[in-house]
Chain A
Amino acid sequence: AQSVAQPEDQVNVAEGNPLTVKCTYSVSGNPYLFWYVQYPNRGLQFLLKYITGDNLVKGSYGFEAEFNKSQTSFHLKKPSALVSDSALYFCAVRARFKAAGNKLTFGGGTRVLVKP
């Protein structure tokens, strides 16, 4: 079975400081990895995904994530956080083999609070 862990329920950061949201995963074989963001009372919005190739993936709104196979991690980063980045962030994993279909498994979410 595949699973995702987001060890921090909440991350607090000052505006302008670097932001990191942690994610580790467990899946059979190589993974496809995704980050989504959810603003209050809204659906999830896609940020970025890792499929193959370069371990550093760049996405929307200045976010990037680094795939680390040995540590089974896919941490989300932003060099300089904005107050508008305050939201709920979800990491998700999908196995590569065909039988897994399109089933995404989500982590529990990390709430990010960026203070002015």
Chain B
Amino acid sequence: NAGVTQTPKFQVLKTGQSMTLQCAQDMNHNSMYWYRQDPGMGLRLIYYSASEGTTDKGEVPNGYNVSRLNKREFSLRLESAAPSQTSVYFCASSDGGPLFPTDTQYFGPGTRLTVL
């Protein structure tokens, strides 16, 4: 049981380049999330998808887009990368949607992104 997987593990981009971070979960969870982790700031929610076919903005959505491709996959796209987007990105999933806020979120191993 792989849980939540993310690709790539590491990526270096130049300013203005684009890329897509991939996330997949095999737990049949309804909700999926993208966070960024910066030193001293904990994790901040970028976007989330409460169920297949829906996406919503989180705390820091600017400069990002997401796609909930199907129930398993949730991708994060940087259209024009900026140095401020240098961070570690985590994908997470949970069983319930907005009606189940007690559900635990399970995290992937992260993608370390550097934008030069």
Interfacial residues, chain A to chain B (CB-CB below 8 A): 4, 9, 32, 34, 36, 41-46, 49, 51, 90, 94-96, 98, 100-104, 106-109
CB of B108 closer than 8 Å to a CB of A: yes
> A36 → chain B, closest Cβ, in Å?
8
> B56 → chain A, closest Cβ, in Å?
8
Q: Is the CB of B40 within 8 A of A104?
A: no
- The 3 tightest CB contacts between A and B, nearest first, are A106-B42, A43-B107, A101-B98
Q: Closest chain B residue to A94 by CB distance?
A: B101
A32→B100 CA distance, assembly (Å):
11
Q: Is the CB of B43 within 8 A of A106?
A: yes
Question: What are the residues of chain A within 8 A of B94 when measuring CB–CB?
Answer: 102
> B27 → chain A, closest Cβ, in Å?
13
> B114 → chain A, closest Cβ, in Å?
15
> A65 → chain B, closest Cβ, in Å?
14
Question: What are the residues of chain A within 8 A of B102 when measuring CB–CB?
Answer: 32, 49, 51
